[in-house]
A and B are shown apart, each in its own frame.
Chain A
Amino acid sequence: GAGVSQSPSNKVTEKGKDVELRCDPISGHTALYWYRQSLGQGLEFLIYFQGNSAPDKSGLPSDRFSAERTGGSVSTLTIQRTQQEDSAVYLCASRTGTGGNSPLHFGNGTRLTVT
């Protein structure tokens, strides 16, 4: 079946420009996560959506970062006024249910390079 889909797979942008990264979760998955993976680093939690509840934004590194999830499905992560330190792979994941014990299914990520 279809997995988590992210687009674009690669994005190169100039410093100061805004970018939008898209995530299509697995159909029926109510929970959606964004993580960031910088070179040689682990995964850094950014934001979490669960159904119609208010998102957990506790991981967003600055107010330049925002995300929305429309209709409980597709999510867009927006980075405004990009900086070179924003260069990373941005991973989206989804899972079913509200409990903590269902595994995440990850997309292949968007590799963002800020020049």
Chain B
Amino acid sequence: AQSVTQPDIHITVSEGASLELRCNYSYGATPYLFWYVQSPGQGLQLLLKYFSGDTLVQGIKGFEAEFKRSQSSFNLRKPSVHWSDAAEYFCAVVWGDTGRRALTFGSGTRLQVQP
């Protein structure tokens, strides 16, 4: 079955430090990739997406992600974390070649930011 894996359930970083959240997906010829953020008490907000082209995509709030087909990965990065980035982050994939249009989500990574 097609799946999305976020290996880190919980990550703690210091404010100002760099951040990388990992996401791996099972093989599919045409993955469409997304990162969403869910702040406490808030709905899910799209951070960025990758469909094709440049494998390094920029998103909102200073986030970026790099698609690596050879590693089936789409890791999310930020050079300098702010306290307001504390939230839960979800990676999601649609496999464009399957005809299924529902996003499959990873189980999420909860980010804690220390002052």
User: Which A residues are within 8 Å of any B CB, using their own CB?
Assistant: 31, 33, 35, 41-43, 45, 48, 50, 56, 59, 91, 93, 98-101, 103-109
**Given A41-B107, A100-B32, A108 and B43 touching (CB < 8 A)?**
yes
Docked Cα-Cα span, A105 to B49, in Å, equals 13
Binds A, one of B13-21, B64-72, B94-102: B94-102
Of chain B, the residue at the smallest CB distance from A44 is B105
Q: Report the Cα distance A109→B44, complex, angstroms.
A: 9
Residue numbers in B under 8 Å from A91 (CB-CB): 43-44
Could you say which interface size class chain B belongs to?
20 to 34
Which residues on the B side are within 8 Å of A31 (C-beta)? 101
Q: Which residue of B lies closest to A105 (CB)?
A: B46
* A42:B32 contact, CB within 8 angstroms: no
From B6, B100, B103, B107, A104 is in contact (CB under 8 Å) with: B103
Contact A101 B94 (CB under 8 A): yes
A42's partner among B45, B51, B108 (CB-CB below 8 A) is: B108
CA separation between A31 and B51, bound complex, in Å? 19
